[in-house]
Amino acid sequence: MTSTITNRLYSFAEYLTYDDGSDNRYELVDGKLELMNPPTFRHLLIAQFIEQLLDAEINRLGLPWLCLREAGIRTGWRKSRLCDVCVVEKEQVMELMDESAVCQSPPLLVVEVVSPESVKRDYRYKRSEYAALEISEYWIVDPTESKVTVLLWEEGLYEDGEFTGNQQIVSRRFPELVVTVEQLLAGGKND
């Protein structure tokens, strides 16, 4: 469960430089800092596998993109979300090299791994905020439900495809990617 740590409203600029001396990570939601719980090991392993998988595909195709884990995404005037994995154009990062790792423009693809406390945030709030940014592809990886939902931006709305079991995930950004839901949920490791 996330918790709001103060009643004070922060600007986006204040959020970028906020440091409470801890290793805590926060999202900025309507000007309020929301403390993010540490992820589970399953969550971390799935996100790491996805990052490695997408990095390999980017390198194989020679694309001018980067795959990042745990970067921020500015989703509004006083809003910034932390994503599990995102793909951005290199120039998006090069312009902000010495600043906080928060994308100021929409990533090409975002992946969220659902945790028990993030169900509503990942399926509802982030979905609507990412749609407002017109992020062209958004994956919701849900280990509890054993499924991956791929949302594709089409004419002002997200069209979603749901994948389970040994179904291969279909990605617009990575059309030659070969990975099943089972492989993704296992973090690339066979049980």
Share of the chain above pLDDT 70, in %: 95
Q: Within the chain, what is the greatest distance between any pair of CA atoms?
A: 47
**CA-closest candidate to residue 60, choices 185, 178, 182:** 178
Q: Give the model confidence (pLDDT) of 45-57 as tens digits.
A: 999 999 999 999 9
Q: Give the model confidence (pLDDT) of 17-74 as tens digits.
A: 999 999 899 999 999 999 998 888 999 999 999 999 999 999 999 999 999 999 999 9
**pTM confidence score:** 0.92
Pairing status of strand 157-164 against strand 109-113: unpaired
**CA-closest candidate to residue 70, choices 30, 26, 31, 104:** 26
Cβ 65 vs Cβ 88: under 8 Å:
yes
d(CA 164, CA 171): 14
Cβ 42 vs Cβ 34: under 8 Å:
no
CATH superfamily of 39-185: tt1808, chain A (3.90.1570.10)
Cβ 15 vs Cβ 28: under 8 Å:
yes
